[in-house]
Amino acid sequence: MPDYIITGILATLNYIDLKRDTNIRSPSLRPYPNLRQSRNLTFVYRTRADGCGRLWMVDTGLFEIPGAPRQVQAPAIVIYDLATNQQIMRYPLKSSDLINANTPAGLASITVDIVGDCRNAYAYVIDLATFGLIVYSLRENDSWRLSHNYFHPSPTAGNMRISGQYFQWGDGIFSITLTEPGCHGCRIAYFHPLVSIEEFSVSTCVLRNRTASQDSTFFSMFSKVGDRGENSQCTKHDYHAGSRVVFFAEIGRDAVSCWHTGSALTPSNIAILAQDRQRMSYPSDLHVTGDEVWVMVNTLPRFVYSRLDTNEYNFYIYRGNVRDLIAGTVCDSDFQRFLR
Ligand SMILES: *[C@@H]1O[C@H](CO)[C@@H](O)[C@H](O)[C@H]1NC(C)=O
Ligand SMILES: *[C@@H]1O[C@H](CO)[C@@H](O)[C@H](O)[C@H]1NC(C)=O
Ligand SMILES: *[C@@H]1O[C@H](CO)[C@@H](O)[C@H](O)[C@H]1NC(C)=O
């Protein structure tokens, strides 16, 4: 054992090579794109690949060492070309996109919306700390910030008990997922705060319209979709176009659940698909790729409020086939037809 402690983050963004690393239990993480160039990134939360071979992320620019955080560079939207692993773009957010020094730490997820061709893309960046939504237009290379009460946490949903830890959180808007385009090319953006059991929606045509927030009816362009049920606080959710089902990474119930968007969003229309107190404690990310759901789990409350037990498995990656997961549940469209 070394008699010194290294503090810091070696590489904030890492990957596992599914061809080379999957035969190994607990494979080492590989810095992205490599160790030297991973230094370009200070602190990255959840990344997203789009349908155009690009990897999008927010670099918060905040070096988050407990007790000694340091803003190293301006928070920025960063895009990599997945074919060459070269940075395509780094767009520093404008001061008008940020509320105060607490904002960067809350830029925890990004959703990419491609309108027709790859050059016309929008990114929706959530701000869970100072409760806003930052919209970036790739074509205009410009960004703007939106505010709404639905981006705030629900005060009655903040008492948490996860991984054996009791605590209270106040995180706002955390996840946005998009349906396929409907009329006029608009998608429905479903979103929720982390501290909430409610789900909301807004049309992407409202988000993409940089003057919509000046309209006197702007606030009524957002809707409440429904309630997911007790302890259903969740981090990320994602929509699967083929089945029209949304999947949720639930931290309150240590679970992955689903809802068919053709049904009312009520607790009885939510099905728990996987649940485990130990091995699904704090599902921190979830996304749908092709016909698979991928989930990352990291037991965060345990290592934040207690300590990381390195003799146990603390980090998990799960994947499951959409059809297999929802078969026979209320999310199954055959089941939906049967009810009608
Ligand atoms: C690292 O950042 C520099 C300066 O922004 C940029 O020119 C370079 O392409 C980046 N390299 C990679 C691999 O991202
Ligand atoms: C986008 O805007 C930023 C400043 O906000 C600028 O640094 C960058 O060069 C612009 N990129 C392109 C491709 O115009
Ligand atoms: C953008 O929003 C404004 C205000 O609601 C509206 O007048 C305008 O028609 C919208 N533009 C588009 C392209 O939808």
The amino acid at 76: A
Domain that holds residue 264: 148-339
Q: Is residue 2 part of a domain?
A: no
Residue 1: predicted pLDDT: 43
Q: Is residue 105 part of a domain?
A: no
Q: Is residue 6 part of a domain?
A: no
Can you tell me which atom of ligand 2 is nearest the CA of 92?
5
Residue 302: predicted pLDDT: 86
For residue 80, report the distance from its CA to the centre of ligand 2, in Å. 15
Tell me the pLDDT of the chain (340 aa) as tens digits: 445 556 778 899 999 998 998 888 889 999 999 999 999 999 999 999 999 999 999 999 999 877 888 999 999 999 999 999 999 999 999 999 999 999 999 999 999 999 999 999 999 999 999 999 999 999 999 999 999 999 999 999 999 999 889 999 999 999 999 999 998 899 999 999 999 999 999 999 999 999 999 999 999 999 999 999 999 999 999 999 999 999 999 999 999 999 999 999 999 999 999 999 999 999 999 999 999 999 999 998 888 888 888 898 999 999 999 999 999 999 998 776 766 6
Q: Is residue 254 part of a domain?
A: yes
Q: Find the ligand nearest to 141 CA.
A: 2
Measuring from each residue's beta carbon to the nearest atom of ligand 3, which residues come in under 6 Å?
A: 209, 211-212, 215
Residue 340: predicted pLDDT: 60
Can you tell me which atom of ligand 3 is nearest the CA of 214?
4
Q: Is residue 7 part of a domain?
A: no
Supply the residue whose CA is at minimum distance from atom 9 of ligand 2: 91
For residue 226, report the distance from its CA to the centre of ligand 2, in Å. 39
Residue 52: predicted pLDDT: 98
Q: Is residue 187 part of a domain?
A: yes
Can you tell me which atom of ligand 1 is nearest the CA of 78?
14
Contact 288, 238 (CB under 8 A): yes
Domain total in the chain: 1
Contact 63, 72 (CB under 8 A): yes
For residue 236, what is the domain's CATH number?
A: 2.120.10.30
Q: Is residue 46 part of a domain?
A: no
For residue 37, report the distance from its CA to the centre of ligand 1, in Å. 7
SS3 233: coil
Site of tokens 């155009």: 52
**Best residue among 79, 141, 144 to mutate for probing ligand 2, ranked by most atoms within 8 Å of CB:** 141
User: What is the DSSP track for 277-336?
Assistant: TTTTSSEEEEEEETTEEEEEE--HHHHHHS---TTS---EEEEEEHHHHHTTSTT-HHHH
Q: Find the ligand nearest to 78 CA.
A: 1
Q: Is residue 94 part of a domain?
A: no
Q: Which of 256, 243, 236, 229 is nearest to 327 (CA)?
A: 243
The reply to whether ligand 1 has any atom less than 6 angstroms from the CB of 33 is yes
For residue 28, report the distance from its CA to the centre of ligand 1, in Å. 24
The reply to whether ligand 1 has any atom less than 6 angstroms from the CB of 86 is yes
Tokens, residue 206:
């409202």
Q: Is pTM beyond 0.75 here?
A: yes
Residue 306: predicted pLDDT: 86
For residue 122, report the distance from its CA to the centre of ligand 3, in Å. 17
